[in-house]
């Protein structure tokens, strides 16, 4: 895991440990919480046009940023619990996607 993600994972672990949340942080629970937060991330965009979704007012953009943070935090916690290196997994997935979806030039 990259240094910044590893540091974030450690900080999250300390935060959870201080509150005795370990018993609640089973992979199933973290994945469920991640899905809930992803749904909350979608909510501000629900009735916007594509153009509106690209030009969010500052208060909406801040709300979206905090929901994005919630998604990231649960994903990092899940990776930590399952001992998954997210950066490595993402890099491997990008290689798979590049093979699956090769560049097609239409000149």
pLDDT per residue as tens digits for the range 17-69: 999 999 999 999 999 999 999 999 999 999 999 999 999 999 999 999 999 99
Is residue 1 over pLDDT 70?
no
Q: Which residues of 84-93 are buried (b: 16+ CB within 10 A; e: fewer)?
A: eebeeeeeee
Q: Which CATH class is domain 3-100?
A: mainly alpha
């Amino acid at each position: 895991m990259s240094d910044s993600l590893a540091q974030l994972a450690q900080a999250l672990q300390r935060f959870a440990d201080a509150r005795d949340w370990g018993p609640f942080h089973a992979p199933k629970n973290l994945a469920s919480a991640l899905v809930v937060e992803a749904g909350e991330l979608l909510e501000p965009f629900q009735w916007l046009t594509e153009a509106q979704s690209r030009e969010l007012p500052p208060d909406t953009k801040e709300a979206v940023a905090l929901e994005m943070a919630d998604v990231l935090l649960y994903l990092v916690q899940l990776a930590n619990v399952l001992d998954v290196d997210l950066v490595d997994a993402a890099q491997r997935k990008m290689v798979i996607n590049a093979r699956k979806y090769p560049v097609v030039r239409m000149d």
